[in-house]
Amino acid sequence: MPKDSGIGASSKRREDVRFLTGSGNYTDDINIFGQLHVHFLRADMAHAKLNGVDTAAAEAMPGVHRVFTGADFEAVGGIPCGWLITDRFGQPMQEPRHPVLAHGKIRHVGEPICAVVADTLAQARDAAEAIVLDYETLPAVIDMKAAVSDSSVKVHEELTSNLCYDWGFVEDNRDAVDAAIKGAAHVTTLELVNNRLVANPMEPRVAVGEYNRSDDMHTLHTTSQNPHVIRLLMGAFVLGIPEHKLRVVAPDVGGGFGTKIFHYAEEAFCTFAAKALNRPVKWTSTRSEAFMSDAHGRDHVTKIELALDADNNFVAVRTETYANMGAYLSTFASSVPTWLHGTLMAGNYKTPHVYVNVKAVFTNTVPVDAYRGAGRPEATYQLERVIDMAARELGVDPIALRRQNFITEFPYATPVAVEYDTGDYHATMDKLEEIADFAGFKARRAESERNGKLRGLGINCYIEACGIAPSNLVGQLGARAGLYDAATVRVNATGSISVMVGAHSHGQGHETSFPQVISEMIGIPEDQITIVHGDTSKIPFGMGTYGSRSLAVCGSAMVRAAEKVINKAKKIAAHLLEASDGDIELKDGRFSVAGTDKSVAWGDVTLAAYVPHNYPLTDIEPGLEETAFYDPANFTYPSGAYACEVELDPETGHVKIDRFSAADDFGNIINPMIVTGQVHGGIAQGIGQAMLEGCVYDADGQLLSASYMDYAMPRALDVPFYTVDHSCQTPCTHNPLGVKGCGEAGAIGSPPSVVNAVIDAIASGSGKAVAHIDMPLTPSRVWAAMQ
């Protein structure tokens, strides 16, 4: 019998009532009396020397309050990067200044140059057209390999080159890997591109800055996945506002996918301008601005080599990746191709020798940073593609080749510095074989062939590291922040509970799943519990939501805080029941004395805590509210096996995704329905990357895919009905819930099986064999590869 509440129940997402009835409160819904509107004049050239900006005419336009330029921000800090990478020679990465508004130089199409603040948005836009820029166009640096050649123009004059860092991991493995590859019986080499993506959350970014002179208080309402991170970065590093004078509010957020983690110039601008003008200042991104100002994702160019011995055991993996940083270092940009990518290059396999080299490169493009999966999809894609290619070259079954090399003993220390606590890769593969109906594939292929189509089956495994992250470890790796999280469990007098959490929900359903945990622990109905998030003035200092960390890290903090509450409540109950607190049991919302029929209801105990008439005031304080901070001991390691079946029209190159199956191991599961939804969404984004989405610049740095006319997002017709299963569960060994995280898995795990399936389909035809096609597998690319 499925449960109908608590841990394991598919409780309906309570937040959907407001989302689906148009009563959510998004940042753009916030309008403050007296607010002004800002329009950013953005660069339409990729690279230029900016000699001067004449704003006089604009400033004289109707309704204009002020036109800000880069000069206005000389006295404040630049937008900071949150992670210092040390290169393979022991040197710190090159870290250029990232100004709020361009100053002296323009470095990518879309970079904000001036900000016009006016009574209405239309007035601001009109005035922006009257700004005169004095600039000299410079050659654009777009291609990463050309960017690191000695002759390249520099994106940042103050740096020695366009190379941000040359990172080796693990540098000490280098020689052993080279030797293993030299001595291998077979080496498969694959060069590929992990395509640049635009995150495209449904809600564009918005910022509303507010300043109150009477108490010198700044408030920023913003579309963020982590309000405390924004408060820290913007307050401490950019504007110099102390935390107690800065409140950051992220109300309902309509999708983040990583791109709303980062601190952006527009947030700093609105906060700064609100004080300068003593009026609230609002900015709402247009979709066109989003394409050229939201941090992009992926954009790696990789060469991977997989070496096997004569028995097809993996003996070494060596990779060389060029990772595009764009024109500036966005908040977590430097960590994505390194710690979130290199550490996963062992995958699900016991390859003894692994070496990862990453060259991060500055170009005249929009900054690139974490996007759903962040580094782990890039790792999974190259590994699972090269394994498939090796199987094809060696003429062996791709599943058998994987199984033969699976890690089977846990904990397992990989050659790339992480320790998998638990997992069972054969179990998810067994489950996949069952749910994907491999047995019926032959008949389906024959049917497709009768219709003049080719059918292909592709599979892959994945492992990811989430539940980000142990603070002392990431500190050693260069993170400039801790990655714990926090929760306050506030029990109200009549027994209902408000939980203030550092995690932020922007689609994940925390308002539903987090109460399920508390309900399970205490035994009161879920609707007695409310989650409060997204406002630094209400919640404890938490690091927000990304890296599939909310439940594993913040949920663990919530469990710890709830345990403290329960321990204290037991003492109160013991007093009321005149028993010893060691004998008190809590079940179904009642405290009872073990072995007796004496009991007292949860609500009577909580009331006693707040109306402490009959109360042990000398021993314990009144009230019932506890906070816990939780710092994870390790990452969590969700894993799984995915299968995709495609039907390809050889005449046009059009590929239809016909079936998609996913067998995941997420450890324990709080709400299966929400998990299924997360997997569905992740796979849709993975299919988007594999089949449709490609962010493309021309050689002059113009963004060619700058709107939905040219940037293809997956739609309902592009994805099949999914078969997903998460019954394989090896609980995480180091957090109290045994949960691993499920938010990114779908996006990490799906692209390789899609591409593997298309390659398989082509191989089944009579035409030329195709070893690899770069994503997105648009009809024209597939067709061209087949000619």
Which residues are near other proteins by CB under 8 A? Answer: 122, 125-126, 288, 651-654, 691-692, 694, 696, 704-705, 708-713, 778-780, 783-784
Tokens coding 472: 């002392």
Closer to other proteins by Cβ: residue 244 or 450? 450
CB of 773 to other proteins, least distance (A): 14
Whole-number minimum distance, CB 704 to other proteins, in Å? Answer: 6
Q: How far is the CB of 300 from other proteins (least distance, A)?
A: 20
Q: How far is the CB of 707 from other proteins (least distance, A)?
A: 8
> Could you give the CA distance from residue 480 to residue 466 in angstroms, rounded to a whole number?
18
Residue whose CB is less far from other proteins, 541 or 783: 783
Between CA 93 and CA 95, with CA 94 as vertex, the angle to 5 degrees is: 105
Beta carbon nearer to other proteins, 126 or 535 = 126
Range 436-460 burial, b when 16+ CB lie within 10 A, else e: bebeebeebbeebeeeebbbbbbbb
Contact between 663 and 639 under an 8 Å Cβ cutoff? The reply is no
**Of residues 605 and 786, the one with the C-beta less far from other proteins:** 786
Cβ(612)–Cβ(568) below 8 Å: no
Nearest CA to 358 among 627, 170, 615, 605?
Answer: 170
Q: How far is the CB of 536 from other proteins (least distance, A)?
A: 35
Cα separation of 170 and 634, whole Å?
A: 19
Size of the chain, expressed as the number of residues it contains: 787
Helix (H) or strand (E) holding 304: strand 300-308
Query: Would you say 5 or 778 has its CB closer to other proteins?
Result: 778
Sign of the CA dihedral running 390, 395, 400, 404: negative
Nearer to other proteins, 291 or 635 (CB): 291
Least gap, CB of 651 to other proteins (angstroms)? 5
Q: How far is CA 616 from CA 174, 489, 573, 576, in A?
A: 65, 22, 10, 9
| Distance from chain centroid for Cα 19 | 22
Q: Find the shortest distance in angstroms from Cβ 710 to other proteins.
A: 5
Give the list of residues 6+ apart from residue 446 with CB closer than 8 angstroms, or none: none
Q: CB 755 → other proteins: shortest distance, Å? A: 16
> Shortest gap between Cβ of 288 and other proteins (angstroms)?
7
Kindly tell me which of 86 and 288 has the beta carbon lying closer to other proteins.
Answer: 288
Give the Cα separation of 577 and 589 in Å (integer): 15
Cβ 747 to other proteins, closest distance in Å?
19
Report the residue number, 212 or 778, with the smaller CB distance to other proteins.
778
Residues 6+ apart with CB under 8 A from 476: none
Nearer to other proteins, 3 or 715 (CB): 715
Residue 293 or 321 with smaller CB distance to other proteins: 293
Question: What is d(CA 122, CA 435) in angstroms, rounded to the nearest whole number?
Answer: 55
Measure CA of the first residue to CA of the last residue in the chain; give whole Å.
Answer: 55
Smallest separation (angstroms) from other proteins to the CB of 286: 8
Region of 465 please: left (phi>0), alpha (psi -120 to 50) or beta. Answer: beta
Q: Which is nearer to other proteins, 481 or 692 (CB)?
A: 692
Question: Which CA distances in Å does 782 have to 573, 683, 718?
Answer: 69, 21, 16
Closest to other proteins by CB, 614 vs 652, is 652
Please state the closest distance from residue 217 (CB atom) to other proteins, in A: 36
Q: Are 255 and 201 in contact (CB under 8 A)?
A: yes
CB of 701 to other proteins, least distance (A): 16
Cα–Cα distance between 609 and 313 in angstroms, integer? 63
Phi first, then psi: what are they for 637, rounded to 5°?
-130, 75
Beta-bridge mates of residue 38: 117
In the bound state with other proteins, the residue whose beta carbon lies nearer, of 280 and 688, is 688
Which of 757, 781, 754 is closest to 685 using CA atoms? 754
Residue closer to other proteins by CB (options 387, 683) is 683
**Does an H or E element contain 521, and which?**
helix 510-522
CA nearest neighbour of 754 among 695, 683, 696: 683
* Alpha-carbon span 749 to 685, nearest angstrom: 10
C-alpha to C-alpha distances, 612 to 497, 598, 618, 619, nearest whole angstrom: 18, 21, 11, 12
Q: CA 649, CA 782: separation in Å to the nearest integer?
A: 10
| DSSP summary character for residue 356 | E
Q: How far is the CB of 29 from other proteins (least distance, A)?
A: 21
Between 692 and 763, CB nearer to other proteins:
692
| 589, 605 Cβ separation under 8 angstroms | no
Task: Closer to other proteins by CB, 406 or 783: give it.
Answer: 783
Amino acid identity of residue 641, one-letter, is A
Distance, CA of 313 to CA of 303 (rounded, Å): 20
Residue 439 or residue 709: which is nearer to other proteins going by CB? 709
| Least distance CB 21 / other proteins (angstroms) | 21
Cβ(261)–Cβ(331) below 8 Å: yes
Instruction: Write down the least CB distance from residue 653 to other proteins, Å.
Output: 8
Nearer to other proteins, 619 or 698 (CB): 698
**Cα–Cα distance for residue pair 112/101, rounded to 1 Å:** 5
Q: DSSP 3-state assignment of 537? A: coil
Q: How far is residue 83's CA from residue 473's CA, in Å, rounded to a whole number?
A: 13
Least separation in angstroms between CB 111 and other proteins: 19
Nearest to 285 by CA among 298, 300, 270: 270
Dist. CA 33–CA 35, nearest whole Å: 6
Q: How far is the CB of 695 from other proteins (least distance, A)?
A: 10
